[in-house]
Chain A
Amino acid sequence: MSPFQIIFLIVAGLTLASAGMVVTARRMMHAALWLVLTLLGVAVLFATLEASFFTAVQVVVYIGAIAILIIFAVMLTRLNLQEDEPGVNRFAWLAGLVSLLIFAGLVAVLSLWTGFNTVRPTFAGEDIIALGKAMVSANGYAIPFEVASVLLIGALIGAIYVAGEPRKPASKPESK
């Protein structure tokens, strides 16, 4: 077992354990904090894949923004009564069974694929400049990039409208 493999197993095990805690924790705040740990573990896995750009972007976007948003939402939708009740519904056993079956099916189908056990090839290194150029060049991926930014603006405006303060009808001032 090389040190790299040990590190991978430890990080992957930690991430999966935190993910398990996310889906079973009773108190929502704890689930949110376990989610932060899971996202951090995934960022470390990106680093083991030598995708340094995505490690940083994962931490900045997911942990720095989405996780904080989820924590805000947890705090704004809190009712003290709900912390004692179980976090999963009546059909949790069925859900567990289905997930297990799907996992087994995925692994079975993938292991039939010839490329399943490819060894890591040598790698020229991640080229950020090529990524940047591809995102904005006309015969690259400029259109998906622009569509993604329109999607984000739509989400921004929609969220402000949906979750904004309910507007009171303006009352006419008394005057005598």
Chain B
Amino acid sequence: MPGFWQDPIGFIANLLHSLLIGWGLPAAVVDVILSVLGAGALAMGAMLFVIFLIWYERKLLGRIQDRLGPNRVGPFGIFQSFADMFKIFTKETITPQGADVIPYNLAPILAVAAVLLVWAVIPFGVNIMGANLSVGVLFVLAAGGFGELAIMLAGWGSNNKYALMGGFRAVAMLVSYEVPMVLALLVPVLLANSLNLNDIVRAQTVPFLFTAPVAAIVFFITQVAESGRAPFDVVEAESEIVAGFNVEYSGLKFGMFYVAEFLHAFTVSMLFATLFLSGWRGPGAEQIPLLGVLYLMIKTFLVYFIIILFRGSLPRFRIDQMLNLNWKVLTPLALVAFFMTALFDKSLAQLGVVGNDLGAQVIRTLVLLVVNGIILWLGERWLSQATRPVRRDVRLTKPAVVDRYPGAK
């Protein structure tokens, strides 16, 4: 039996296993029960964590906006999220007349489920993982697809043309932003030679942020867009389209969408930390996996902090500006970064600079850093005109003379 510090999940699993077998249950049922318990514990942990996240974001946004943030309910306002939770639980859920019952009720569940699914494949420590899938990165993409479906269902099921239009816009934006996201996601996969997230973390003796900065930037921007955060707020712009696709939701169903949005931002930060900031790696994380969890949380909060800074300081993009940015800047950047990384990484492997030791990795990092710098410089020169504001030509013209009485003299 492994010790607790070396393998916490294995230790607890063995304990429960022997306990349940001692109660007389057959082994197959015990396995199923343990899996369900594990999944439930992870999901509960994520949902309970959101309470802290909401408080953190509101305090930070308040400070950015030169105010205090919630500070009445408990010291420093830490019980504010609980107060909000009680309010949302006890609000009346009003179902609009003519709403399609099944899509309307399914949408918030799918939205939260799509985000929680990603937590199953993220490695929290050396052997603390939900499911060690060999296609972890593809699984993350699949979960993103479910989120889009949820928004579609919400927009349709509300029987409200603003919700429908909001849903259309949201899904159009989300599907467009998947293209550079997938390309940027492929770069760490290329550098680590595996789709498994734990392998990608293990391959980062030098964090991939330095080896593939262009891919990191593109991935970060597209993931902020995919979770519908500012400045890509069009999905639920409070001042434009009322609340977009969730205008007809109240009470706990709206609470689910709210939770899904915050959790999505945090999950995005965790993904970025795993893929580009070397995840759970740090001094001593291999021997004591719980230290790995600590390191991952520190890195995740760093990225989450930056995302909140984005929200507090940048104005919202228009939908055509967003699509311009996506197709004319991010996609070419991601494509070129992918090609160049593949070219130089495999050439270096041919020259013999291969292996997981620090020396080879540093050489690879320096070469790819130079390449990425060139890509960024060229990108700034050639692609920046796509995001320049287009001025309409409003020269002063004399109004056309309309002959009201043709034929009169």
Do A and B interact? yes
Q: Is the CB of B400 within 8 A of A174?
A: yes
Which range holds the interface residue count of chain A? 20 to 34
Decide: A68 and B138 in contact? CB cutoff 8 A. no
A60→B148 CA distance, assembly (Å) = 11
| B345-362 residues at the A interface, CB under 8 angstroms | none
A57 to B149 alpha-carbon distance, docked (Å) = 16
Q: Is the CB of A52 within 8 A of B102?
A: no
Query: Which residues of B sit under 8 angstroms from A135, Cβ to Cβ?
Result: none
Q: A128 CA to B133 CA in the complex, in Å?
A: 12
**Does B28 have its Cβ within 8 Å of any Cβ on chain A?**
yes
Bound CA–CA A126/B133 (angstroms): 12
Interchain CB contact (< 8 A) of B156 among A29, A36, A60, A67: A29
- Please tell me if A56 contacts chain B, counting CB pairs below 8 Å: yes
Chain A CB within 8 A of B135 CB:
yes
Determine the chain B residues whose CB is within 8 A of the CB of A52 once the complex forms.
133-135
Cross-interface CB contact of B401 among A63, A67, A128, A176, cutoff 8 Å? A176
Q: Out of B28, B100, B141, B178, which one reaches A56, CB within 8 Å? A: B141
Partner of A53, one of B138, B156, B398: B138
Quick one: closest B residue to A129, CB to CB?
A: B193
Q: Given A33-B103, A68-B171, A71-B152, verify A56-B145 contact (CB < 8 Å).
A: no
8 Å CB contacts to A: which residues of B135-163? 135, 138-139, 141-142, 144-146, 148-149, 152-153, 156
Report the bound CA distance from A175 to B400 in whole Å.
Answer: 6
A33 and B102 in contact (CB under 8 A), knowing A68-B148, A75-B156?
A: yes
Which residues of chain B are within 8 angstroms of A100 by Cβ–Cβ distance? none
Question: A36 to chain B: which residues have CB within 8 Å?
Answer: 149
State in angstroms the CA–CA spacing of A3 and B103 once bound together: 31
Complex-state Cα separation, A59 to B139, whole angstroms = 9
Report yes or no: A60 in contact with B152, Cβ–Cβ below 8 A: no
Shortest CB distance A45–B (Å): 15
CB pair B135–A63 under 8 Å, yes or no, is no
Dominant secondary structure at the B interface: helix
Q: Does A57 lie within 8 Å of B138, measured CB to CB?
A: yes
Q: Is B175 part of the contact surface with A, judged by Cβ < 8 Å?
A: yes
Chain A positions within 8 Å of B175 at CB level:
65, 68
Could you say which residues of chain A place their CB within 8 Å of the CB of B100? 29
Find residues 102-117 in chain B having any chain A CB closer than 8 Å to their own CB.
102-103
- List A residues 161-176 near B (Cβ within 8 Å): 174-176
Residue A64 is within 8 A (CB to CB) of chain B in the complex: yes
Residues of chain A contacted by B398 (CB below 8 angstroms)? 176
- Confirm or deny: B322 has a beta carbon within 8 angstroms of a beta carbon on chain A: no
Q: Which residues of A contact B146 (CB under 8 A)?
A: 59, 63-64
Question: A148: shortest Cβ distance to chain B, in Å?
Answer: 17
- In the complex with contacts A29-B100, A36-B149, A71-B152, A64-B141 CB distance below 8 A: yes
B195 within 8 A of A: yes
Q: CB distance B142 to A68 under 8 Å?
A: no
Contacts of B164 in A (CB 8 A): 75
Cβ–Cβ contact A64 & B142, under 8 A: yes
Assembly CA distance A52 to B168 (angstroms): 31
Q: How far is the CB of A136 from chain B (nearest CB, A)?
A: 11
Determine how close the nearest CB of chain A comes to the CB of B36; give it in whole angstroms.
Answer: 14
* Among A55, A56, A176: residue with most chain B CB under 10 A: A56
Q: How many angstroms from the CA of A105 to the CA of B195 in the assembled complex?
A: 42
**Given the complex, which residues of B lie within 8 Å of A33, measured CB to CB?**
102-103, 153
Neighbour of A63 across the interface among B133, B145, B400, CB < 8 A: B145
Q: Is the Cβ of A60 less than 8 Å from the Cβ of B141?
A: yes
Shortest distance in angstroms between B278's beta carbon and chain A's nearest beta carbon? 23
0 or 1 for each of B284-300: is its CB under 8 Å from A? (1 = yes): 00000000000000000
Nearest B residue (CB) for A67: B149
- Do A56 and B171 have beta carbons less than 8 Å apart? no
> What 1/0 mask marks residues of chain B from 369 to 409 whose CB sits below 8 Å from any chain A CB?
00000000000000000000000000000101100000000
Knowing A3-B28, A68-B171, A174-B400, say if A60 contacts B149 (CB, 8 Å).
no
From A3, A71, A128, contact of B195 by CB (8 A): A128
In the bound complex, residues from chain A placing their C-beta under 8 Å from that of B153 are 33
The answer to whether A56 touches B103, judged by C-beta atoms less than 8 angstroms apart, is no
B141 closest partner in A (C-beta): A60
Residue of A nearest to B401 (CB): A176
A residues sitting closer than 8 Å to B (CB atoms) are 3, 29, 33, 36, 52-53, 55-57, 59-60, 63-65, 67-68, 71-72, 75, 126, 128, 174-176
Beyond the given A56-B138, A56-B139, A128-B195, could you list 8 further A-B residue pairs with CB under 8 A, ordered by the A residue number? A33-B103, A52-B134, A60-B142, A67-B149, A68-B171, A72-B168, A128-B134, A128-B135
What would be 11 A-B contacts, judged by CB atoms less than 8 Å apart? Answer: A56-B142, A59-B145, A59-B146, A60-B142, A63-B146, A65-B145, A67-B149, A68-B149, A68-B175, A71-B156, A75-B156
